[in-house]
Amino acid sequence: MSNFTAEHARLAKRLRDAYSKGPIAPLREFLDPTDASGAYAVQAINTRVWESQGRRIVGRKAGLTAEAVQKQLGVDQPDFGVLFDDMRVADGGLLDPGRCIQAKAEAEIAFVLGADLPSPDTTLEDVAAAVATVHAAIEIVDSRIADWKITFADTVADNGSSAFFVLAEAGLPLAGLDLPGAAMTMSVNGEVASSGVGAAVMGNPLNAATWLARTLASAGEPLKAGDVLLAGALGPMVALKPGDVVVAEVAGIGSCSFTFAGA
pLDDT of residue 68: 72
Separation between Cα atoms, residue 202 and residue 228, nearest integer Å:
18
User: Could you tell me if residue 85 is inside a domain?
Assistant: yes
CB atoms within 10 A of CB 48: 12
Q: What is the tens place of the pLDDT at every residue in 127-136? A: 999 999 999 9
Tell me what pLDDT residue 1 has. 46
For residue 95, the model assigns a pLDDT of: 98
What's the average model confidence in pLDDT over 85-103? 98
The predicted pLDDT at position 74 comes to: 80
pLDDT grade, residue 66 (50/70/90)? confident
Q: Which residues pair with 249 in a beta bridge?
A: 185, 255
Alpha helices in the chain (DSSP H): 6-21, 36-52, 67-72, 124-130, 152-157, 205-218
User: Is pLDDT at 143 greater than 70 in this prediction?
Assistant: yes
- What's the pLDDT tens digit per position in 220-263? 999 999 999 999 999 999 999 999 999 999 999 999 999 999 87
Percentage of the chain beyond pLDDT 70 is 99
Residue type for 42, please?
V
Q: How many domains does the chain have?
A: 1
* Mean pLDDT value across residues 79-89: 98
| Residue at 215 is within a domain | yes
Rg for the chain, CA atoms, rounded: 17
pTM value?
0.96
Helix, strand, or coil (residue 200)? helix
Looking at the domain assignment, is residue 98 inside a domain?
yes
Higher pLDDT, 57 or 73: 57
Q: What are the tens digits of pLDDT across the range 2-36? A: 478 999 999 999 999 999 999 999 998 889 999 99
**Contact (CB, 8 A) for 58 and 227:** yes
pLDDT band at 73 (very low <50, low <70, confident <90, very high): confident
Report yes or no on 37 lying in a domain. Answer: yes
d(CA 131, CA 135): 11
Look up the CATH number of the domain holding residue 128.
3.90.850.10
**In terms of residue numbers, what domain contains 132?**
6-259
Residue 1 lies in a domain: no
Residue 195 lies in a domain: yes
Give the pLDDT of residue 60.
98
DSSP label at residue 191? E
SS3 260: coil
For the stretch 171-226, pLDDT in tens is 999 999 999 999 999 999 999 999 999 999 999 999 999 999 999 999 999 999 99
